[in-house]
Amino acid sequence: MIWRIVLNLVNVNELGLRYDDNWAVGHFNVHNLEFARGVVTAACENRSPAILAVGMLSIKYIGLKPLVAACRAVAEESDVPVAIHIDHSRDVELVRRALELGVTSVMFDGSALPFEENVAKTKEVVAMAHDHGATAEGEVGIVPHGTDPVSEKDMTDPDMAVEFVERTGVDLVAVSLGSIHGMKTAGASLDQDLLRALHQKIKAPLVLHGASGVLDEHVKDAVANGIRKINVNTGLQVACKNALTAQLNASPDSGLLQDFECGIAAIASAVSKKMVLFNSVNKAA
Ligand code: 13P
């Protein structure tokens, strides 16, 4: 484990999150080296812990091994704690390979499975993660994608969530409170009463997915009401794409590296704003 301490590469339990301390760590999806660099630059500048998250589409795009290696290489240069996380895996074997490559945190997404199957598979992943000194996240309730509205039945049931955490031993649990994955502009609000009830009953850190689409004041309230990890993907992609488009239009003859630098700066700036919103600035131990 020595190399992890030296490199500031930690699991999510080691990021300093506390049940009663109202700040949340940002989970930022990274798709290439430039995203990893942008996130870690913001983390160091803000003295904020951060999570580099690797999702299924990004693995399909560039490969699990190169993407984890890119995250590790950038995390090695960080002087604040960083975790490397596998996001929304539905494949236990992929989780195993990722742990062998050195990720420090994994999510098994069994939210679409029948409850008993979700419990059984998540439990298997938790054991595997803990064997590697990594943390594991599960999900109860469904956070939909795209334009699907959140229905009442998709929201997390508190009793079910309590049972899920007890039976699986997950370190973190993702809950459905009204957010939707993949929104390009913020418009969603969250059920803060439901969140308060979940926080009161569950001591494991609660995770908000689909945060790009949630109104800032609702994110702020969610942190005050018990959310401790916040997942952001689409918002960073939008920020990067807008910056690249502006750069390419303004300087069509610029060198490609100069264009990529604009993308990295836009990602770092968007991540910094989220760190302020999540109250994670200066929380690095
Ligand atoms: P957004 O793309 O909506 O920010 O969601 C990110 C997410 O929840 C990743 O797990």
In this structure, what CATH number is given to the domain that contains residue 268? Answer: 3.20.20.70
How many distinct structural domains can be found in the chain? 1
Q: How remote is the CA of residue 252 from the centroid of ligand 1, in Å? A: 32
Tens of pLDDT, residues 14-56:
999 999 999 999 999 999 999 999 999 999 999 999 999 999 9
Between the CA atoms of 33, 34, 39 and 40, what dihedral angle is there, to the nearest 10 degrees? 60
Residue 173 lies in a domain: yes
107 Cα nearest atom in ligand 1: 10
Q: How remote is the CA of residue 80 from the centroid of ligand 1, in Å? A: 23
Structure tokens at 103: 């990720």
Q: Which residues participate in the annotated binding site?
A: 88, 109, 139, 181-182, 209-212, 231-234
Q: Is 87 a catalytic residue?
A: yes
Nearest to 234 by CA among 205, 260, 209: 209
**Pocket flag, ligand 1, residue 229 (CB < 6 Å):** no
Residue 6 lies in a domain: no
The predicted pLDDT at position 146 comes to: 84
pLDDT score of 204 more than 80: yes
212 Cα nearest atom in ligand 1: 4
Residue 2 lies in a domain: no
Q: What is the mean pLDDT of the chain?
A: 96
The predicted pLDDT at position 147 comes to: 76
Instruction: Say which residues have a Cβ less than 8 Å from residue 32's Cβ, sequence separation at least 6.
Output: 58, 62, 67, 70
Tens of pLDDT, residues 89-117:
999 999 999 999 999 999 999 999 999 99
Q: How far is CA 203 from CA 54, 161, 224, 242, in A?
A: 26, 11, 15, 39
**Confidence at 6, pLDDT banded by 50, 70, 90:** very low
179 Cα nearest atom in ligand 1: 3
Spatial distance between the Cα atoms of 228 and 248, rounded to a whole number of angstroms: 38
Q: How remote is the CA of residue 162 from the centroid of ligand 1, in Å? A: 24
pLDDT score of 155 more than 80: yes
Residue 218 lies in a domain: yes
Beta-ladder partners of 26:
50, 230
Pocket probe mutation, ligand 1, options 209, 227, 229, max atoms within 8 Å of Cβ: 209
**Pocket flag, ligand 1, residue 209 (CB < 6 Å):** yes
Q: How remote is the CA of residue 2 from the centroid of ligand 1, in Å? A: 32
Catalytic residue among 20, 21, 79, 87: 87
87 Cα nearest atom in ligand 1: 10
Residue 172 lies in a domain: yes
Instruction: Say which residues have a Cβ less than 8 Å from residue 135's Cβ, sequence separation at least 6.
Output: 11, 12, 13, 83, 104, 105, 106, 129, 171, 172
The predicted pLDDT at position 1 comes to: 43
**Confidence at 2, pLDDT banded by 50, 70, 90:** very low
Mean pLDDT of 184-197: 96
Q: How remote is the CA of residue 235 from the centroid of ligand 1, in Å? A: 8
Pocket probe mutation, ligand 1, options 51, 234, 238, 278, max atoms within 8 Å of Cβ: 234
Residue 4 lies in a domain: no
Between the CA atoms of 193, 196, 202 and 207, what dihedral angle is there, to the nearest 10 degrees? 90
Structural domain containing residue 148: 12-278
The predicted pLDDT at position 3 comes to: 46
Residue 3 lies in a domain: no
Residue 1 lies in a domain: no
Tens of pLDDT, residues 55-85:
999 999 999 999 999 999 999 999 999 999 9
Q: What percent of the chain has pLDDT over 70?
A: 98
